[in-house]
């Protein structure tokens, strides 16, 4: 039984195929043969070969064309080119197209065997890498929500446990932490996926409009109500209604909401008929709902009705370990959108993102990464592509407000110095880049360095 892997020999010369068959079989490889490019491609599409020994001159197409076709496959075998008509140009072209190695016939058996061994090892590593990335991705992502830290993993668990039930869910978290994303994930993993997910931002709609928006109205219910209109509770029937910024809802509408949750029925504005609906309510707020109850602007009974299951999403500054994964996710998203590939992140840029406090949370990080991807001209994102508030550290307020008898002028001078040092540090003491970060021109920066006696350590 052959065990070392399966290799395809694609050569039109029978004698060549036989030589290779003998050589490779003696090294415990399984060997199959193709006489032309079309046959080789067909065989590769149907079987998982570790490597292909590919002749450059095939009767129907040349080896480089075969290689180009193979590059369309997701997990293609490694390709070793064999040719009787070697030239530097061909070898360069083959390498550019991703050939693993290039041999001129006649070749040395031991050299070829070594190249095959290396090629198979290379493919094994690539595969392992791909598998690892996939497991990592699956483990740290849930319906497009990325999160590696324990608290986000708990959010994922809560979503999975709560989604199939009917109970109302309250999502709390600062602006931009992903409340709507979580609400959509709950909808997607509930049995309601084929019914609508309707989101409404209660904070954006005046109170009287909100009422008719949610519950609908009958013709003549108020001036201007020329037609009967369904409310969102009816539109979302069978599905999910996401009420964003619930704390802004007036006390009057809150009591109507309480009734729908308890009775699962309501009346349109001006209507007499009770309408029954099956709607799962997910409420969200970026301020503390319990505090709103204490202030008397939110009904306590409604609070308890909404708060059956609470999902608290932590702010980004409390989970910096999620920043690299989120950044990778957004680089991928925006590179694809902008038809750019292989964009990477300079370590100093990643450090700047990790050091930031992110008052706008994941939304702000997403915008910063999108901007950097769009502005980058090369393949690497560097800190100068970030807005100033990201690439410059926040003011050291403790130092600014110290009670030492230091004049304002001196404090400002010290602060200026610390900003300049931070910019130089972040750009590896590249004055041009540091000047750009600080939005001053390079000569001004140079003068300041002299005046403040700043020297590279």
Ligand X SMILES: Nc1ncnc2c1ncn2[C@@H]1O[C@H](COP(=O)(O)OP(=O)(O)OP(=O)(O)O)[C@@H](O)[C@H]1O
Query: Within the chain, what is the greatest distance between any pair of CA atoms?
Result: 93
Does position 69 interact with Mg ion (CB under 5 A)? The reply is: no
Tell me how many degrees the CA angle 134-135-139 measures, rounded to the nearest 5. 120
12, 180, 355, 396: which one contacts ligand X (CB under 6 A)? 180
CB of 310 to Mg ion, least distance (A): 16
Minimum CB distance to ligand X smaller for 147 or for 216: 147
Minimum CB distance to Mg ion smaller for 180 or for 346: 180
Minimum CB distance to Mg ion smaller for 37 or for 178: 178
CB of 179 to Mg ion, least distance (A): 5
Minimum CB distance to ligand X smaller for 78 or for 322: 322
27, 32, 180, 370: which one contacts Mg ion (CB under 5 A)? 180
5 binds, among Mg ion, ligand X, none (CB under 5 to 8 A by kind): none
Does position 175 interact with ligand X (CB under 6 A)? The reply is: yes
145 binds, among ligand X, Mg ion, none (CB under 5 to 8 A by kind): ligand X
37, 63, 77, 147: which one contacts ligand X (CB under 6 A)? 147
Minimum CB distance to Mg ion smaller for 185 or for 331: 185
Residues 343-402 that bind ligand X (CB under 6 A): 362-363, 366
CB of 377 to ligand X, least distance (A): 25
Two structure tokens written together for 332: 């991928």
How many whole angstroms separate alpha carbon 452 and alpha carbon 446? 10
Site string for ligand X, 278-317 (x = CB under 6 A): --------x-------------------------------
213 to 74, 218, 286, 329: CA distances (angstroms): 49, 12, 22, 36
Length of the chain: 457
Among 23-31, 64-72, 176-184, 404-412, the segment contacting ligand X (CB under 6 A): 176-184
Check the CA dihedral 418-419-422-428 and report its sign.
negative
Site string for ligand X, 314-343 (x = CB under 6 A): ------------x--x--------------
Minimum CB distance to ligand X smaller for 22 or for 336: 336
Residues 7-36 that bind Mg ion (CB under 5 A): none
CB of 325 to ligand X, least distance (A): 8
147 binds, among Mg ion, ligand X, none (CB under 5 to 8 A by kind): ligand X
> Which residue number places its CB atom closest to ligand X?
178
Strand order in the sheet with 30-34: 30-34, 6-10, 51-55, 78-83, 101-104
Does position 200 interact with ligand X (CB under 6 A)? The reply is: no
Size of interface with Mg ion, in residues (CB under 5 A):
1
168, 177, 240, 327: which one contacts ligand X (CB under 6 A)? 177
CB of 190 to Mg ion, least distance (A): 19
Minimum CB distance to ligand X smaller for 35 or for 174: 174
Among 36-44, 71-79, 106-114, 173-181, the segment contacting ligand X (CB under 6 A): 173-181
Site residues for Mg ion per CB under 5 A: 180
Site residues for ligand X per CB under 6 A: 145-147, 173, 175-181, 244, 286, 326, 329, 362-363, 366
């Amino acid at each position: 039984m052959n065990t070392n892997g399966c290799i395809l020999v694609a050569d039109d010369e029978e004698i060549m195929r036989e030589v290779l068959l003998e050589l490779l079989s003696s090294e415990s490889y399984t060997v199959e043969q193709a006489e032309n490019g079309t046959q080789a491609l067909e065989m590769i599409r149907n079987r998982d070969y570790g490597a292909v020994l590919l002749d450059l001159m095939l009767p129907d197409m040349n080896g480089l064309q075969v290689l180009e076709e193979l590059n369309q496959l997701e997990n293609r075998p490694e390709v070793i080119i064999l040719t009787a008509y070697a030239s530097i140009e061909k070898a360069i072209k083959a390498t550019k197209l991703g050939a693993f190695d290039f041999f001129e016939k006649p070749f040395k058996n031991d050299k070829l065997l070594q190249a095959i061994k290396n090629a198979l090892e290379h493919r094994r590593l690539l595969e392992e890498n791909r598998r690892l990335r996939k497991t990592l991705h699956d483990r740290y992502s849930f319906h497009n929500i990325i999160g590696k830290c324990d608290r986000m993993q708990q959010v994922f668990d809560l979503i999975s446990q709560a989604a199939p039930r009917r109970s109302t869910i309250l999502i709390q978290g600062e602006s931009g932490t992903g409340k709507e994303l979580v609400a959509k994930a709950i909808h997607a993993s509930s049995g309601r996926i084929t019914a609508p997910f309707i989101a409404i931002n209660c904070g954006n709609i005046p109170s009287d409009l909100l009422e008719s928006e949610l519950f609908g109205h009958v013709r003549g219910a108020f001036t201007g109500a020329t037609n009967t209109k369904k409310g969102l509770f009816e539109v979302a029937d069978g599905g999910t209604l996401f009420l964003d910024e619930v704390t802004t809802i007036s006390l009057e509408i809150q009591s109507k909401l309480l009734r729908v949750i308890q009775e699962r029925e309501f009346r349109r504005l001006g209507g007499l008929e009770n309408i029954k609906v099956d709607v799962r309510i997910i409420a969200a707020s970026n301020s503390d709902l319990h505090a709103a109850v204490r202030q008397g602007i939110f009904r306590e009974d409604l609070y308890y009705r909404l708060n059956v299951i609470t999902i608290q999403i932590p702010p980004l500054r409390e989970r910096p370990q999620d920043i690299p994964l989120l950044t990778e996710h957004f680089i991928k998203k925006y590179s694809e959108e902008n038809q750019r590939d292989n964009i990477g992140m300079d370590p100093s840029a990643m450090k700047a993102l990790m050091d930031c406090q992110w008052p706008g949370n994941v939304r702000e990080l997403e915008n910063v990464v999108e901007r950097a991807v769009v502005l980058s001209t090369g393949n690497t994102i560097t800190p100068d592509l970030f807005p100033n508030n990201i690439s410059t550290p926040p003011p050291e307020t403790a130092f600014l407000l110290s009670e030492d008898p230091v004049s304002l002028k001196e404090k400002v001078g010290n602060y200026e110095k610390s900003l300049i040092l931070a910019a130089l540090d972040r750009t590896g003491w590249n004055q041009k880049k540091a000047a750009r970060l600080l939005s001053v021109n390079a000569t001004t920066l140079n003068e300041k360095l002299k005046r403040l006696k700043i020297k590279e350590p």
